[in-house]
């Protein structure tokens, strides 16, 4: 400028390089009614202001700092201008005048950005926009890593780059890659792309397309190998499954609808354990009526005989209808120590209204499934199952389908044979307690001495008599068949892992056109005036 120290025109500041010109401009400013707009117009229309940045003759040596204004100075655009230039290139700039201020992600000109002293626009701030609480005669012009990082990672800038790319790709008039790339240069830099720039951009886009094609082919190959491997497993297992089903029909093996439990109660047939000796006794007014165990939510519950088998990983399952969806804390089916202190239970709405919960002592193994709110259990029975895996993970199911998320809070509790029992209608304890009781009807209940798979839970819910468990198939296999199955299963797991990695890589792969647009935003030519 005419004075290197615009904040200090006194003796401590530097002298103007063209004092007569400075006096003339000051006089014109006053004569034109103190109009800043007219002063700016007069300056920008001068030949000096329109000079190129390249020095002529020996001017670069005689006046290296350009104090005499023989050429233009290279300067970076102001923060607001950089933002507006990106909006313009992306086709998003909103030129509507007047009105109130806008948020940081607005498409309006940066002139209308809201200025809040303790919540400034981070992009404008990092690009040296002045702090509004102090007077600034000339803006700082810094070149720091934070600016480059912002231009590469700011979500708003990434969205503008994507819009810029889509603007070009969506233009039906641009028939070729060359035309599209050239249009990007025109929109961003106001000039045509050079032959070298066209060549480089085409090579970049071509490499990205080739890489995407290779990834697509790899995913197709992985899917094909998965189908072939699954076919090999099916060819090995299906004859054995059919053989087991044929034995059931011949009466050589008792028919079981779905996976076989450790203990099971069907209240259309009474209170006896259908598979063992864990028969139930009814207490506190609980009764069997209309094919269901009827619970009043006050004192009624059922207690089994001591369990004859150790339990650790397990599955609890029940078909239950509620009398009141607004009730809280009642247990449907519980496995507990005989003193009633330690337990695992299917609980309704203890922590979160209308949600199923895996209850435990002091919530030691309890967390929210974050499943859906219960809406149907008042009108009819719903199937609820909770699976306790050996590694401590707990999975919920409702009507055969996963209920919310799987979680792990603590290691599983082991229940010793002879020191565990099953409770129905009460969360835990030795006797009825008001905040632990369930009001409703239980139609069937089951306890499994293992963690059921999702397939097995669905088979149990649907009453699928054609379900054959993994244990049954393994028991029928020869040693050679088991070895072959293990080989194919290991191969299938490897292929599934490869498929997952390819899918994740495909999801994270960025659009090369967006990358090209963002690269143009980061060009010095885009943010500097020459």
Give average pLDDT by consecutive 10-residue segment, the chain, 530 residues.
77 85 92 95 89 79 81 86 94 88 87 85 87 79 87 92 94 92 93 93 87 86 91 90 80 59 94 96 95 95 96 97 94 97 97 96 95 92 96 96 96 96 97 92 96 92 73 88 92 90 79 92 88
Given 41, 73, 105, which residue is the final one in a domain? 73
- Within a domain: residue 194? no
Domain range for 267 is: 263-464
pTM, rounded to two decimals: 0.53
- Within a domain: residue 188? no
- Find the CATH number of the domain harbouring 390: 2.60.120.200
SS (H, E, C) 437-476: ECEEEEEEEEEECCCCCHHHHHHHHHCCCCCCCHHHHHHH
* CA 316-263-386 angle, 5° bins: 5
CB-CB contact of 183 with 168 (8 Å): yes
CB-CB contact of 192 with 182 (8 Å): yes
pLDDT computed for residue 464 by the predictor:
66
pLDDT computed for residue 466 by the predictor:
67
Query: CA 33: distance to chain centroid?
Result: 59
- What is the C-alpha R_g of the chain? 38
Alpha carbon separation from 321 to 348, 375, 410, 529 (Å, rounded): 11, 11, 30, 74
- Within a domain: residue 17? yes
Given 423, 446, 464, which residue is the final one in a domain? 464
Helices and strands: H and E segment counts in the chain = 14, 16
Given 464, 483, 500, which residue is the final one in a domain? 464
pLDDT computed for residue 465 by the predictor:
63
- Within a domain: residue 205? no
Backbone angles phi, psi at 67, to 5 degrees: -65, -30
- Within a domain: residue 500? no
pLDDT computed for residue 128 by the predictor:
84
- Within a domain: residue 180? no
**How many C-beta atoms lie closer than 10 Å to residue 517's C-beta?**
26
pLDDT computed for residue 393 by the predictor:
97
pLDDT computed for residue 208 by the predictor:
82
- Within a domain: residue 107? no
Count of domains for the chain: 2
- Within a domain: residue 324? yes
């Amino acid at each position: 400028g005419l004075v290197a120290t615009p904040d200090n025109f006194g003796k401590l500041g530097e002298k103007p390089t063209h004092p007569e010109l400075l006096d003339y401009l000051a006089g014109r400013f006053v004569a034109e009614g103190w109009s800043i707009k007219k002063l700016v117009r007069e300056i920008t229309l001068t030949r000096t202001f329109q000079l190129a940045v390249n020095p002529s003759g020996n001017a670069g040596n005689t006046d290296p700092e350009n104090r005499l204004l023989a050429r233009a100075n290279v300067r970076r655009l102001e923060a607001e201008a950089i933002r507006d230039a990106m909006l313009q290139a992306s086709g998003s700039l909103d030129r509507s005048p007047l009105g109130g201020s806008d948020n940081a992600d607005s498409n309006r000109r940066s002139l209308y950005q809201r200025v809040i002293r303790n919540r400034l626009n981070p992009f404008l701030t990092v690009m040296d926009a002045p702090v509004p609480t102090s007077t600034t005669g000339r803006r700082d012009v810094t070149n720091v890593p934070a600016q480059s990082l912002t231009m590469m990672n700011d979500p708003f800038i990434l969205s503008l780059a994507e819009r810029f790319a889509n603007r070009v790709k969506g233009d039906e008039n641009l028939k070729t890659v060359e035309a599209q790339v050239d249009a990007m240069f025109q929109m961003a830099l106001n000039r045509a792309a050079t032959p070298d720039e066209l060549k480089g951009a085409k090579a970049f886009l071509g490499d990205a397309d080739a890489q995407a094609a290779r990834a697509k082919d790899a995913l197709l190959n992985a899917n094909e190998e998965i189908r072939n491997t699954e076919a090999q497993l099916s060819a090995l297992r299906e004859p054995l499954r059919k053989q087991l089903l044929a034995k059931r029909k011949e009466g050589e093996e008792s028919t079981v609808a779905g996976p076989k439990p450790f203990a099971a109660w069907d209240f259309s047939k009474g209170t006896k354990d259908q598979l063992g000796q864990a028969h139930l006794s009814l207490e506190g007014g609980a009764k069997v009526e209309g094919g269901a165990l009827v619970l009043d939510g006050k004192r009624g519950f059922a207690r089994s005989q001591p369990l004859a088998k150790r339990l650790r990983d397990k599955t609890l399952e029940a078909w239950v209808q509620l009398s009141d969806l607004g009730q809280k804390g009642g247990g449907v089916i519980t496995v507990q120590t005989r003193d009633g202190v330690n337990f695992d239970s299917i609980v309704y709405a203890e922590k979160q209204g209308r949600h199923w919960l895996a209850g435990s002592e002091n919530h030691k193994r309890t967390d929210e499934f974050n499943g859906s709110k219960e809406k149907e259990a008042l009108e009819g029975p719903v199937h609820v199952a909770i699976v306790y895996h050996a590694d401590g993970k707990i999975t919920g199911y409702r009507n055969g389908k996963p209920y919310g998320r799987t979680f792990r809070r603590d290691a599983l509790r082991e229940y010793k044979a002879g020191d565990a029992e099953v409770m129905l209608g009460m969360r835990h304890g030795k006797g009825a307690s008001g905040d632990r009781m369930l009001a409703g009807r239980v139609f069937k209940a089951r306890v499994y001495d293992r963690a059921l798979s999702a397939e097995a839970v669905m088979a149990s819910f649907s009453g699928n008599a054609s379900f054959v468990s993994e244990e049954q198939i393994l028991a029928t296999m020869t040693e050679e068949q088991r070895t072959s199955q293990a080989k194919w299963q290991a191969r299938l797991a490897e292929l599934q892992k490869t498929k997952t990695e390819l899918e994740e890589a495909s999801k994270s792969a960025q659009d090369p056109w967006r990358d090209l647009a963002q690269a143009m935003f980061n060009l010095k030519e885009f943010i500097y005036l020459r």
